[in-house]
């Protein structure tokens, strides 16, 4: 008998954050179901976490640990800049050695925020595809950076040069197809102080330079994101890769398998949800990557939830920075009606019939999960691309209400509108229609066709 054929392998490199790891796992499952072995390469400080908290893994997905500067130490990078430094300075040599040990690697799929892996795969003479886990609209803005600098909308450090009250992206011809009015305040690299903004902007410039060499970018968004299913995305930089919208990738998830997570899940919240009436519970979560919203806002949000007299499930870490601001005696006051957990199985929570409203930071994974489960949203964006996501949620799709600021009366009023008012009824109608288009309808068909285009490319590679 001849030797058994070696199954082709695809190596995937996510940016080391939960919001990036999750969609890449969904992509791995989609690729595996089409006859490839998916291998996900993650830094040791992330591998330690998911090994500790994830049970079970995808049985068909291999995880490999990339040694970092920390070696076998306990300390982890504490902020974005440190994570980027570890990736750029300590990962490449180690990753190259690992790639050279594998047989039948068909392609390396690299999260654009982990673009350090692109030149590594190129040195190994391997095809490389990009992965963009966020909205297409955000990618358009990133792609347009060279033109924004050329037209003096932003400086060479990414700082807006125009008057934010009079200048907007919609006035720029190359972005005129966007269905919402975005101003320079919405630029996704404007996070933190001036030094932080400049550092993030130069991070994006490096990504733009590396992306030019790619043939494909897989985008975890859905065809029709801008309201037109047949819309054709035009790239705005020379030698740009072809962008294939293949999302939302979570629809390829095996429901019997739990995603690896970086935090320990409190599953008691599901039993608690079982005891609540249908569509009665407010789910509150501001994600895992961005820091706490501040003690004053925590206090006002807590009072608004309490005054709503509705049951709520709030994901809130026990760390002082996250819970500082909770009114004295609040946890005892809300016993029975409210539940606070450090981390929840979000996909399972949003799927639950008792959830009637989701108060969210508008992270892209959270937005996609809410659409899949047809849950209306109360939006409080905090950082980065969340402001753009919020614009689409509120102004394009009409499936949410924006909290312009967190004050208890405002929170309470928006909850009433979203759960009992005419606004809520219209939001629920629209999110159910959007779900049909994205998960079941023509948008889903187009996304599957795009994924097939990529898989056919892999088979010929």
Structure tokens of 93?
């040599």
Q: Are residues 16 and 135 in the same domain?
A: yes
Q: How far is CA 436 from CA 140, 311, 336, 443, in A?
A: 26, 28, 35, 9
Tens of pLDDT, residues 186-214: 889 988 888 989 999 999 999 999 999 99
Q: Are residues 252 and 293 in the same domain?
A: no
Residue-averaged pLDDT of the chain? 86
3-state secondary structure of 402: strand
Q: Are residues 407 and 455 in the same domain?
A: no
Q: In the block, which residue shows the tokens 């305040």?
A: 185
Of 241, 253, 262, 284, nearest to 414 by C-alpha is: 284
User: Which of 57-61, 164-168, 179-183, 301-305 shows the lowest mean pLDDT across its residues?
Assistant: 164-168
Q: Are residues 226 and 328 in the same domain?
A: no
For residue 72, is pLDDT > 70?
Answer: no
pLDDT given for residue 444 in this prediction: 85
Does residue 452 lie within any of the structural domains?
Answer: yes
Q: Are residues 185 and 284 in the same domain?
A: no
Does residue 32 lie within any of the structural domains?
Answer: yes
For residue 40, what pLDDT band results from cuts at 50, 70 and 90? Answer: very high
Q: Are residues 251 and 283 in the same domain?
A: no
**Rounded mean pLDDT of 54-68?**
72
Does residue 429 lie within any of the structural domains?
Answer: no
Answer for the pair 68, 45: CB distance below 8 angstroms, yes or no: yes
Q: Name the helix (H) or strand (E) containing 216.
A: strand 216-219
Backbone angles phi, psi at 238, to 5 degrees: -65, 145
Q: Are residues 177 and 289 in the same domain?
A: no
Q: Are residues 384 and 453 in the same domain?
A: no
Q: Are residues 95 and 139 in the same domain?
A: yes
Edge-to-edge strands, sheet with 281-285? 338-341, 312-315, 281-285, 355-360, 377-379, 400-402
Does residue 1 lie within any of the structural domains?
Answer: no
Burial bucket for residue 67 (CB in 10 Å: 0-12, 13-18, 19+): middle
Q: How far is CA 27 from CA 10, 14, 327, 444, in A?
A: 11, 11, 42, 15
Does residue 431 lie within any of the structural domains?
Answer: no
User: Which of 230-234, 284-288, 390-394 shows the lowest mean pLDDT across its residues?
Assistant: 230-234
Compute how many other C-beta atoms are within 10 angstroms of the C-beta atom of residue 212: 12
Domain holding 346, by residue range, is 268-420
Backbone angles phi, psi at 317, to 5 degrees: -60, 150
**Rounded mean pLDDT of 307-336?**
88
Q: How far apart are the first and last CA of the chain?
A: 27
pLDDT given for residue 396 in this prediction: 93
Does residue 131 lie within any of the structural domains?
Answer: yes
pLDDT given for residue 455 in this prediction: 94
3-state secondary structure of 393: helix
For residue 170, is pLDDT > 50?
Answer: no
User: What's the domain count of the chain?
Assistant: 2
Tens of pLDDT, residues 405-459: 999 999 999 999 999 999 999 999 999 999 998 888 888 888 999 999 999 999 9
Which pTM was predicted?
A: 0.91
- DSSP 8-state class, residue 164: T
Contacts of 234 (CB under 8 A, 6+ apart): none
Does residue 298 lie within any of the structural domains?
Answer: yes
For residue 185, what pLDDT band results from cuts at 50, 70 and 90? Answer: confident
For residue 56, is pLDDT > 60?
Answer: no
Q: Are residues 294 and 186 in the same domain?
A: no
Q: Are residues 239 and 117 in the same domain?
A: yes
For residue 311, is pLDDT > 90?
Answer: yes
For residue 287, what pLDDT band results from cuts at 50, 70 and 90? Answer: confident
pLDDT given for residue 182 in this prediction: 79
309: domain CATH number is 3.40.50.2000
Count of residues for the chain?
461
User: Which of 122-131, 208-217, 252-261 shows the lowest mean pLDDT across its residues?
Assistant: 252-261
Answer for the pair 379, 401: CB distance below 8 angstroms, yes or no: yes
pLDDT given for residue 45 in this prediction: 86
pLDDT given for residue 438 in this prediction: 87
For residue 367, is pLDDT > 90?
Answer: yes
Alpha carbon distance 217, 128 (integer Å): 9
- Planar angle of CA 375, 376, 378, nearest 5 degrees: 130
Answer for the pair 22, 345: CB distance below 8 angstroms, yes or no: no
For residue 237, is pLDDT > 60?
Answer: no
Burial bucket for residue 228 (CB in 10 Å: 0-12, 13-18, 19+): exposed
Of 74, 120, 91, nearest to 16 by C-alpha is: 91
Q: Are residues 235 and 313 in the same domain?
A: no
Buried b (16+ CB within 10 A) or exposed e, 49-66: bbeeebeebbeebebebb
Does residue 393 lie within any of the structural domains?
Answer: yes
């Amino acid at each position: 008998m001849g030797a058994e054929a070696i199954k082709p392998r695809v190596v995937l490199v996510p940016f080391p954050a939960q919001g990036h790891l999750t969609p890449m796992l969904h992509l791995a499952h989609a690729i595996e179901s089409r006859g490839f072995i998916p291998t996900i390469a993650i830094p040791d400080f992330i591998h330690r976490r998911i090994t500790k908290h994830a049970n079970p893994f995808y049985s068909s997905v291999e995880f490999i640990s990339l040694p970092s500067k920390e070696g076998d130490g306990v300390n982890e990078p504490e902020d974005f800049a440190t994570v980027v430094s570890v990736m750029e300075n300590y990962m490449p040599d180690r990753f190259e050695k690992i790639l050279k040990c594998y047989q039948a690697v068909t392609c390396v799929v690299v999260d654009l925020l982990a673009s350090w892996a692109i030149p590594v795969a190129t040195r190994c003479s391997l095809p490389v595809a990009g992965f963009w886990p966020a909205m297409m609209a955000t990618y358009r803005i990133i792609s347009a950076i060279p033109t924004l600098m050329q037209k003096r909308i932003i400086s060479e450090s990414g700082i807006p040069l125009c008057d934010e009250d009079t200048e907007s992206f919609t006035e720029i011809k190359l972005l005129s197809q966007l269905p919402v009015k975005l101003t320079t305040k919405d630029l996704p690299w404007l996070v933190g102080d001036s030094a932080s903004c400049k550092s993030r902007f130069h991070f994006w410039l490096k990504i733009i330079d590396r992306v030019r060499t790619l043939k494909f970018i897989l985008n975890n968004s859905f065809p029709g994101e801008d309201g037109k299913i047949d819309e054709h995305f035009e790239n705005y930089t020379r030698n740009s890769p072809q962008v294939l919208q293949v999302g939302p990738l979570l629809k390829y998830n095996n429901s019997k398998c739990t995603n690896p997570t970086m935090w320990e899940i409190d599953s008691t919240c599901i039993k608690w949800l079982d005891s609540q009436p249908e569509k009665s519970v407010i789910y509150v979560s501001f994600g895992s990557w961005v820091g706490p919203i501040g003690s004053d806002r925590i206090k006002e949000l807590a009072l608004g939830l309490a005054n709503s007299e509705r049951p709520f499930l709030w994901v809130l870490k026990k760390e002082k920075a996250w819970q500082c601001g909770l009114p004295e005696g609040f946890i005892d006051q809300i016993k029975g009606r409210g539940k606070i957990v450090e981390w929840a199985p979000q996909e399972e929570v949003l799927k639950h019939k008792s959830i009637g409203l989701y108060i969210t930071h508008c992270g892209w994974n959270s937005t996609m999960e809410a659409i899949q489960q047809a849950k209306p949203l109360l939006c409080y964006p905090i950082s980065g691309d969340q402001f753009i996501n919020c614009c689409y949620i509120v102004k394009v799709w009409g499936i949410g209400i924006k909290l312009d600021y967190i004050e208890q009366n405002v929170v309470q009023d928006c909850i009433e509108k979203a759960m009992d008012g005419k606004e809520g009824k219209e939001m629920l109608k629209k999110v159910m229609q959007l779900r049909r288009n994205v998960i079941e309808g023509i948008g889903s068909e187009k996304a599957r066709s795009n994924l097939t285009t990529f898989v056919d490319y892999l088979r010929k590679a």
